[in-house]
Structure 1
């Protein structure tokens, strides 16, 4: 195995070091009968990110963390593979999957280079995970490779407004004004952030996302900009519930891999 790209190595060390902070939340999510999504816990009944019946489907979670999304899919009948960059996160995922009697294939690796064959999966999903921690110019084509023609990719991550409203020094809270350029915000290095220093994240402008999807071979089925629920309180990573009711802090893209015979 060659040397890891800088962001992959940085994010691996970051998540291995902080994995213990996500054990309790992961364990709680594993007990949920119905999925909830993102930092504001929006119900599956509102977002519809998963097929209701996944019997016979092969699914992959790109950046599975503690594995609860993989568990939700397995309980809907799917055969599920989860890949994550953090060995410590996977340690929790394995323990919880065994505790709940849910069979998962779990891989320690990078969602930009997944050790699975072409056309292996019917459905791919990332809730944060690869959606923000992997380079989209690498992981989106990789997801396309992994999916069969007609396969679905769903991913949830930070909205572009979060990056442009984040102070340059990485301090909290997120502002109600533009703090950094919208253009050229592809790579966000938070290692020296004033508050909650972290790893290296990625984002794109909306036009860049759309051009990447088309160039890769995906068609866009849906885009949802998530609004914090009316009863949400507190803040998440410097984003207050009031901010997230006025501006979207998260987005969800739903894509379908075009059949090779389909027009571009």
Structure 2
């Protein structure tokens, strides 16, 4: 069973938040403006919620992993922003109908019971409110350090099912459409994210395939193996890791 609470510290330190350009683009859809009531589901350490709060939105975040919310509150305090956090699931948010003007789900939609979550998001939004599903994924381009890293993860955890991704999620269109959302539009752009070797090892530890799934002794072995792989095949003090940002925006009728 995947439990991100087991890797909350690495998640806080090493998982890069969504780039500000995504929020700039979402502003064009009317998402995240000052005073807007916004819910961030699967908020984790609040990487997306915090950015919207910094732009003046009134943000609530919800996540089932209490250790992640502890890290989120600590990061909010460092950033000088305020987000209201709830421990709970996206499929059953304990708040009234029409509580929000916008809802975001960053890097988490695949963990939900998607039909139930989509229906719950529809319930929670005001008419005309916007729903956003967003992803920020590494790209395993042939010969890249990401491809080599994914091969190593599978060596330690053959059950891991997220290798070989493209960062594009066509099935999410059906999820929102079946729940009654209209005017669906998507956007995407690519960028390279800089990591030190140690930070990349920490980032991978904080993934579903490693510390969220494996026992501690296997996590330690994996960290040593990835450190050795980077030193041998991708030497240097700075790594540029290819990523894709993708988002789907829908309107509640």
The TM-score bracket by the shorter chain reads: 0.5 to 0.7
8 Å Cα contact 1:156-1:251 kept in structure 2:
yes
Give distance in 1, aligned partners of 2:33 and 2:52: 7
Structure 1 runs of 4+ with >6 Å offset: 197-201, 231-236, 240-243
8 Å Cα contact 2:5-2:66 kept in structure 1:
yes
Structure 1 residue 194 and structure 2 residue 172: aligned?
no
Q: 1:57 aligns with which of 20, 36, 42?
A: 36
8 Å Cα contact 1:59-1:80 kept in structure 2:
yes
Please provide the CA RMSD for this pair.
Answer: 4.0
8 Å Cα contact 1:61-1:81 kept in structure 2:
yes
Give distance in 2, aligned partners of 1:45 and 1:137: 25
Q: Which residue of 1 aligns with 2:109?
A: 131
Q: 1:16 aligns with which of 5, 30, 33?
A: 5
Would you say how many aligned residue pairs link Structure 1 and Structure 2? 206
1:123 Cα shift? 0.8
1:173 Cα shift? 5.2
Higher helix share: 2
TM-score by length of 2: 0.64
SS of the equivalent of 1:91 reads helix
8 Å Cα contact 2:173-2:184 kept in structure 1:
no
1:158 Cα shift? 7.1
Q: Which residue of 2 aligns with 1:213?
A: 176
Task: Structure 2: give runs of 5+ residues left out of the alignment.
Answer: 142-146, 205-225, 227-233
Q: 1:121 aligns with which of 100, 106, 121?
A: 100
1:174 Cα shift? 5.6
| 1:131 to 1:101, Cα distance in 2 relative to 1, 3 A | same
Structure 1 residue 224 and structure 2 residue 178: aligned?
no
